[in-house]
Amino acid sequence: MLRIQFSDYEALREHGRQTYPHECCGVLLGRSVDGVNEVEEIVEAGNTRTDSAHNRYNIAPVELIRIQRQARAKSLDIVGFYHSHPDHPAQWSATDIAEAHWLGCSYVITKVADGKPDVTNSFLLRGTGEEDKFFEDEPIEILVAVGASK
């Protein structure tokens, strides 16, 4: 399961709107507890695939290292990633599974239809390695802070 604050959930969907018609991408920081990836913070990242940003994304390793360092300073881990599918379903693609290597992490995908965030789904990358990895549909629990304004 992926557990995320409503504000972070909305922020990652909003990121998809901002970058439309290009794919957005970012990192989910938090903790993995008893099989639940709990998100404490999301970090927007740049999409380096400027050659094909409408249907591809890539986060520069050096940016990931910076984000990982930032996480470590807060005693957080990288627990997942998010990206958008402009005018495509919020389902993982052949490219997504081929290029997914963070076993145990959540991969969140938002369909952005005509510039508006639509369906958001999460997929947990499972398996023991490249040979047997697979995506599993993952429920998203969205937390609303008590006293938060509507």
Partner 1 sequence: MTNKNNKKNYWRDMTIHIPTPLRTYTNGLDSIPVTAGTVGDALQELVTAYPGLKGNLFAADGKLRSFVNVYLNEEDIRYLSEKEATPTTPTDELTIIPSIAGGCR
Interacting residues with partner 1 (CB under 8 A) = 23, 25, 27, 32, 49, 52, 55-59, 61-62, 64-65, 68, 72, 77-79, 81, 83, 85-86, 88, 92-93, 95-96, 98-105, 107, 129-130
For tokens 């005509």, name the residue.
114
- Minimum CB separation from partner 1 for residue 146, in Å? 30
Nearer to partner 1, 115 or 148 (CB): 115
In whole angstroms, give the CA distance from residue 139 to residue 150. Answer: 23
* DSSP-assigned beta bridge partners for residue 4: 142
* 10 vs 68, beta carbon nearer partner 1: 68
User: Do 25 and 47 form a contact (C-beta atoms < 8 A)?
Assistant: yes
Nearest CA-CA partner of 92 in 27, 43, 129, 138: 138
Instruction: State the minimum distance, in angstroms, from the CB of residue 145 to partner 1.
Output: 26
Q: Minimum CB separation from partner 1 for residue 58, in Å?
A: 4
d(CA 142, CA 150): 14
Which is closer to partner 1, CB of 9 or CB of 16?
A: 16
Whose structure tokens read 């920081």?
29
